[in-house]
């Protein structure tokens, strides 16, 4: 009697929820064909931020995999403990302060991240600074309104750049400053004088950095210690002609104190890519100020970043289906 060939194992149906895809990037960059080789994916994409924990839990629903776009939605303990079938959370980037990693571990949910080149956020920080110093958005708008040459800008050469947080991104921005002929000051908790000198910076105290810099560029990680650590006191140390650039995390800066400083002319201006609440509310007082340049948290929003993120997300999911965990963040 001829033996029948064994039937292939049924393919697993895998439900995937993609959160906060404002730019509709998943449709362009998620390699669906790669996922279809290892499972039958059912993908649901949400483009806006959930109104609160209840709506977020409802959106995730029966998703076995959650793909989180950076730190837009807070996957708190309250949310994670209500995810009955979720097995895996994938976030863009190598960290995500909005995910309660301890809760995920207790609930048996793997949390994995992605990696890509570091330059995008640093490049945006410098672009924002140039736009602020030369009033580029205002001049662009003026031309469209039929006006010509309405502002007098300022140069960077010869000024002092203060880098708060001399990690990978901070060092890149420091290099841009040197290329523009700036003197670069730096402060980090673990920074040594020798390391600062090796990367072309002068190691100074935190107060000295705020007091003596013409530009303060923020590149700190968000931790309980750094949250709200740039407040009225620090802004009060800055020169009236100085500006603040923040492309790190909005919660590092006391937004109310910053609005007050900008409104009163305590500092000359600010360039921001990150905010306390995102998307920025339509009634935010920042929108009424003419000495700011604002972008919608796009430091990582580039073709290269998105392609790397979604390709690695697919790799992480495939590994998970094999019983493996790669790029674990817990």
Task: Give the closest residue to 14 by CA, choosing from 318, 326, 226, 222.
Answer: 318
Please tell me the predicted confidence (pLDDT) of residue 299: 93
Please tell me the predicted confidence (pLDDT) of residue 95: 85
The more confident residue out of 32 and 8 is: 32
Q: Whole-model pTM?
A: 0.89
Please tell me the predicted confidence (pLDDT) of residue 157: 98
Please tell me the predicted confidence (pLDDT) of residue 179: 98
Active site residue 320: no
Q: What gap in Å lies between CA 36 and CA 42, rounded to an integer?
A: 10
Give the pLDDT band of residue 279 (cuts 50, 70, 90): confident
Q: Give me the half-sphere count of Cα atoms (radius 13 Å) on the Cβ side of residue 246.
A: 24
Please tell me the predicted confidence (pLDDT) of residue 6: 55
Task: Give the closest residue to 85 by CA, choosing from 11, 12, 15.
Answer: 15
Active site residue 144: no
Indicate whether 118 pLDDT > 90: no
Please tell me the predicted confidence (pLDDT) of residue 182: 98
Please tell me the predicted confidence (pLDDT) of residue 71: 84
- Report pLDDT digits (tens) over 225-258: 999 999 999 999 999 999 999 999 999 999 999 9
Please tell me the predicted confidence (pLDDT) of residue 93: 87
Give the pLDDT band of residue 10 (cuts 50, 70, 90): low
- Percent of all residues in the chain with a pLDDT value above 70, rounded to a whole number: 97
Indicate whether 2 pLDDT > 70: no
- Kindly give, in sequence order, each residue whose CB lies less than 8 Å from that of residue 78, ignoring residues fewer than 6 positions away: 53
Indicate whether 298 pLDDT > 60: yes
- Report pLDDT digits (tens) over 307-325: 999 999 999 999 999 999 9
Task: Give the closest residue to 59 by CA, choosing from 42, 39, 78, 83.
Answer: 83
CA distances, 330 to each of 70, 89, 96, 200, 266 (Å): 16, 11, 11, 35, 42
Please tell me the predicted confidence (pLDDT) of residue 189: 87
Please tell me the predicted confidence (pLDDT) of residue 8: 53
- Sorted by where each starts, the structural domains of the chain and their CATH numbers stand as 13-113+302-321 (3.40.50.720), 119-294 (3.40.50.720)
Query: Pick the catalytic residue: 278, 307, 311, 315?
Result: 278
- What's the average model confidence in pLDDT over 35-40? 96
Q: What gap in Å lies between CA 177 and CA 186, rounded to an integer?
A: 12
Active site residue 278: yes
Give the pLDDT band of residue 70 (cuts 50, 70, 90): confident
Give the pLDDT band of residue 11 (cuts 50, 70, 90): confident
Please tell me the predicted confidence (pLDDT) of residue 208: 98
Cis peptide before 279 (omega within 30 of 0): yes
Please tell me the predicted confidence (pLDDT) of residue 247: 97
Of the listed ranges 8-22, 42-56, 63-77, 168-182, the one predicted with least confidence: 8-22
Indicate whether 1 pLDDT > 60: no
Query: Pick the catalytic residue: 160, 219, 249, 320?
Result: 249
CA distances, 117 to each of 93, 144, 168, 169 (Å): 10, 36, 10, 10
């Amino acid at each position: 009697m001829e033996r029948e060939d064994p039937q292939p194992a049924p393919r697993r149906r895998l439900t995937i929820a993609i959160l906060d895809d404002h730019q509709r990037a998943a449709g362009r960059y998620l390699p669906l064909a790669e996922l279809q080789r290892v499972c039958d994916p059912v993908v649901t994409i949400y483009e806006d931020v959930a109104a609160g924990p209840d709506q977020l839990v409802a959106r995730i629903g029966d998703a076995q995999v959650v793909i989180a776009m950076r730190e837009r939605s807070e996957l708190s303990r309250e949310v994670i403990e209500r995810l009955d079938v979720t097995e895996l959370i994938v976030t863009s980037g190598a960290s995500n302060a909005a995910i309660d990693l301890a809760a995920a571990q207790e609930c048996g949910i793997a949390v994995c991240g992605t990696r890509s080149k570091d330059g995008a956020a640093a490049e945006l920080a410098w672009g924002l600074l140039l736009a602020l110093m030369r009033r580029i958005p205002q001049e662009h708008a003026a031309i469209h309104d039929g006006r010509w040459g309405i502002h007098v800008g300022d140069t960077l050469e010869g000024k002092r750049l203060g880098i708060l947080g001399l990690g990978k991104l901070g060092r890149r921005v420091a290099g841009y400053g040197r290329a523009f002929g700036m003197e670069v000051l730096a402060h980090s908790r673990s920074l040594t004088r020798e390391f600062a000198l090796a990367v072309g910076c002068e190691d100074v105290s935190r107060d000295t950095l705020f007091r003596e810099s013409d530009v303060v560029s923020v590149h700190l990680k968000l931790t309980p210690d750094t949250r709200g650590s740039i407040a009225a006191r620090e802004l009060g140390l800055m020169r009236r002609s100085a500006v603040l650039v923040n492309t790190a995390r909005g919660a590092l800066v006391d937004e109310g104190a910053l609005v007050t400083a900008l409104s009163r002319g305590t500092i000359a201006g600010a360039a921001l890519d990150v905010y306390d609440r995102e998307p920025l509310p339509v009634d935010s007082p920042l929108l009424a100020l003419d000495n700011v340049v604002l972008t919608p948290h796009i430091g990582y929003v580039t073709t290269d970043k998105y392609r790397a993120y979604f390709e690695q997300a697919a790799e992480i999911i495939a590994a998970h289906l094999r019983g493996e965990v790669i790029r674990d963040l817990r």
